[in-house]
Amino acid sequence: MACYVMSGRSIVMVVDTDDPPSKDVRVRRATVPLLALTVGFVLADSAIVTLALPEILRRLGGTVPQVAWVLIAFNLVLALVVVPAAWICAHRDPAPLCATGIAVFAGASAACALAGSMPVLIAARCVQALGGAFALVGCLELLVAATDERRGVARWIAAGVIGTALGPVAGGLLTEAISWQAIFVVQVPVAVLAVPAALSVRSGAVRRGETDRPAVAPNAALALLSAALTAALFLLVLLLVDGWGRSPALAALTVSVVPVAAFAARPVARLARAAPQAETVAGCLLVAGGLTALALLPSAHLAWTIAPQALIGLGLGLTVDRLTVDALRDRSPRVLHGGWTIGARHIGVVLGLAILTPVFTANLRDAQVPAQEAITALVLDARLPAADKIALAQGLSDQLTKEHGRVPDLHPAFARLDLAPPERQVAEQLERDLDSQLERAATQAFHDSFLIAAGLALSALVPMFLLRRRVTT
Amino acid sequence: MMPAARLRAVALPVVAAALVSGVLGVQIAHGGGDFVPARSASPCAHRAVTSVSTGIEGLSEQLVLLGLDGAACRLHVTREALALDLAQSRTPTDAQVNAVRAGLLDAVNRMKAEGKLPPASELTDEALDNSNLNGLVKAAIRALPDSLINSALKTDDVLRRTINDLDLRALLANLDDPDELSRQINAAVTKAVKDALVARLRDLL
């Protein structure tokens, strides 16, 4: 016996209800969380390796542009493949396609963990994205089939938002606690369990009627917002780890403010009982404001990043799910439009990386001169004996040469000095002052990127207002 | 649009804008936007220079710091940029060598004008310790009264002679070799002292 769950005008989901209700409930209880977890994992993979990139570069060798492709390749392949994958899922039974996608994703995750060279890792990431694309759009259909239209779509969207926001946090903690390979290893068992879960949902997709055009305004807004959020999810962790020299675990804990605030966004919206468009406008303003605040940090104290991140997290929670709902509403086939939203978001991530990476790398290069001059001034004027200043200058020069192109660790230059206790105190203060100058230079290097990202977040308002005007006229 | 619906449409964006304004306001009040590397001071402006070192080392340090300022001012660059350039480049330009020499001579003039140059007798013992004169000569010089040393040797005169005699190009090329630096400077100081004494004797005769 089958019951048909109507979705929009054209897709009919066929849910097998031959089993007794109790078994159906049991299956659903296990299946729905596993499928939602899979969605979360796949979307977390977009940013999960951010904090592990320096470690990957150290272990696998290669160049900085190559290691950036570990990030870019996944987002690019996902963006390109997800719409065709959704089209296939709209015309075939999504359960086996989804299960295959999850299995490919699991296998590619294992391959990522075992990769011994950068090209192998990048290739495995591409395959991971390929499997992930089928898993994502398949899970949308299966979550709806296992629950209902409203709850299925809501869980799919929520899992995606949470996965996106939690990605850098999870990656940072796993890298620090175990290793960068652990990021990929932990995904394998969940994905392996999700394969039978996907196959257990009996669904059949039958294309009926015409295919609606993709919703341009919400998808364009999603792409622009995702480009802006790239700054929060990628650049902020780079600033914390590479710019300010914090550990990946501390950086991960710090950026956990974003997912926490994103969680809080929905209750806030319910409390405000705001209109959908008001939520999106408020969300864009919050993301843009948070990114502007990151561009105007008063110091390198981690506490200063909390309020800007809270604004970004609230904005993320208010906008991404609302825009995704708008993109899916009354459009069929739902899975295809789900694919468009994922594609738009990951094109946005790639766009964000393409725009922001050259800006901040050029600014980081430009920041070297003022940083070196500020350090030179402090060393020249330091209240240390002249011979110690010369030895320190030599040590600092060696460190700068050794870590060319990166924010250097100046401590070895101070550790080599043989100083009397009073001079040791002066040297410790000098080291703190020099580190502060480096932090200032690094923060300044990210300033333009955060402002550009804020501009991208504000520009997400444009398609929504244009659409509103068209609808009004 | 009904007033309630209008309120619902604007309330959340207004709250968001207020939150953003609050965060930005607090950050700017605490120096947000000014968290940038310290800017280099103008090398042409007067800078108070001190040293925790004493004796010849302290005097040399003050002269070098003032001399760097003078040289950088002449070259229209910052003191820090010049110091980095000299430290990183193995071949200083003629303009840099001339500017450093002129800057050091200006530094001697300034310290003399400010009364910061010690009398020669205060530096004699340390200079003799560093010199390679024979022990008897050193003992003889140490036995001389301070007044005689100070009348025979003027610190500013010895310093000017030293600066003019120094092979600055070779000196700047050996900045990372402290032993070679000391050897060159000691040789120049010894020669300057001899020349000053000879000139003084000529004046007396």
A218 has a pLDDT exceeding 50 = yes
Are the beta carbons of B178 and A279 separated by less than 8 Å? Answer: no
pLDDT bracket for residue A219 (50, 70, 90): very high
- Using a CB-CB cut-off of 8 Å, the residues of chain A touching B12 are 269, 272, 274, 278-279, 281-282, 318
Q: Taking residues B114-131, what's their average pLDDT?
A: 82
Name A4's bridge partners.
A14
Of the pLDDT bands very low, low, confident and very high (cuts 50, 70, 90), residue A23 is low
Three-state SS annotation for A180-225: HHHHHHCHHHHHHHHHHHHHHCCCCEEECCCCCCCCHHHHHHHHHH
Q: How many domains does chain B have?
A: 1
Q: Which of A296, A372, A390 sits opposite B178 (nearest CB)?
A: A390
Residue B45 lies in a domain: no
| Residue A78: C-alpha distances to residues A75, A169, A230, A346, B85 (Å) | 5, 21, 16, 7, 48
Q: Do A289 and B23 touch (CB under 8 A)?
A: yes
pLDDT band of A156, cuts 50, 70, 90: very high
Is the pLDDT higher at B175 or at A254? A254
pLDDT surpassing 60 at residue B126: yes
- Read off the pLDDT of residues A125-153 as tens digits, 9 standing for 90 and up: 999 999 999 999 999 999 998 888 889 99
Does the beta carbon of A297 lie under 8 angstroms from any beta carbon of chain B? Answer: yes
Domain for residue B19, yes or no?
no
Tell me the chain B residues in contact with residue A432 when contact means C-beta distances shorter than 8 Å: none
Residue A456, pLDDT score: 95
Q: Do A300 and B35 touch (CB under 8 A)?
A: yes
Q: Residue A36 above 90 pLDDT? A: yes
Mean pLDDT, chain B, as a whole number?
84
Structural domain boundaries, residue B181 = 55-204
pLDDT higher than threshold 60 for residue A343: yes
On the question of pLDDT at A228 being above 90, the answer is yes
User: According to the model, what pLDDT value does residue A12 have?
Assistant: 38
Higher local confidence (pLDDT), A346 or A392: A346
**CA-wise closest residue to A283 among A304, A307, A266:** A266
Q: Is the pLDDT of residue A176 over 50?
A: yes
Comparing A25-34, A228-237, A299-308, A456-465, which segment has the lowest mean pLDDT? Answer: A25-34
Does the CB of A386 have a partner CB in chain B at under 8 Å? yes
Please judge whether B38 and A397 are an interchain contact, meaning their C-beta atoms are less than 8 angstroms apart: no
Q: Flag whether pLDDT at A7 surpasses 50.
A: no
User: For chain A, what is the mean pLDDT?
Assistant: 85
Task: Tally helices (H) and strands (E) across chain A.
Answer: 20, 3
CB contact under 8 A, A397 and B11: no
| pLDDT value at residue B3 | 66
Q: Does A220 touch chain B (CB under 8 A)?
A: no
Confidence of residue B186 (pLDDT cuts 50, 70, 90): confident
pLDDT at A4: 34
Whether residue A415 is predicted with pLDDT greater than 90 in this model: the reply is no
pLDDT band at B124 (very low <50, low <70, confident <90, very high): confident
Q: Does A47 score more than 70 pLDDT?
A: yes
Asked whether residue B43 is domain-assigned, the answer is no
Instruction: Determine the pLDDT at residue A13.
Output: 39
Could A308 and B16 be called an inter-chain contact, meaning their C-beta atoms sit closer than 8 Å?
A: no
Distance (Å, rounded) from C-alpha A222 to C-alpha A346?
A: 9
> For residue A95, is pLDDT > 80?
yes
High-pLDDT (> 70) share of chain A, %: 89
Tokens 């007798």 correspond to B121
Instruction: Please say if the pLDDT value at position B205 is more than 70.
Output: no
A11 φ, ψ (degrees, to nearest 5): -105, 135
pLDDT at B55: 81
Report the pLDDT averaged over residues A4-23. Answer: 42
Of A252, A232, A257, A225, the C-alpha closest to A241 is A252
Residue predicted with more confidence, A51 or A215: A215
List the beta bridge partners of residue A5: A13
**Phi and psi for A211 in degrees, rounded to 5?**
-95, 125
CB contact under 8 A, B79 and A384: no
In a domain, B163, yes or no: yes
In a domain, B37, yes or no: no
Of A40-44, A168-172, B193-197, B201-205, the one with minimum mean pLDDT is B201-205
Mean pLDDT of B118-140: 79
Assigned domain for B33 exists: no
**Within a domain: residue B197?**
yes
Is residue A308 less than 8 Å (CB to CB) from chain B? yes
Chain B interface disruption, residue of A239, A279, A304, most B CBs within 10 A? A304
**The pLDDT value given to residue A351:** 92
Check pLDDT > 50 for residue A313: yes
Those residues whose C-beta lies under 8 Å from the C-beta of residue B52, and which sit 6 or more positions away, are A383, A384, A385, B58
pLDDT category at A419 given cuts 50, 70, 90 is: confident
A272, A285, A376 member nearest B83 (Cβ): A376
Q: Is A322 on the interface with B (CB under 8 A)?
A: no
Buried b (16+ CB within 10 A) or exposed e, A86-99: bbbbbeebbbebbb
Using the Cβ of A218 and the Cβ atoms of chain B, whether some distance falls under 8 Å is answered with no
Let me know if residue B71 belongs to a domain.
Answer: yes
Q: With the C-alpha atoms ordered A422, A428, A432, A434, is the resulting torsion angle positive or negative?
A: positive
Contact state of B23 with A387 under an 8 Å Cβ cutoff = no
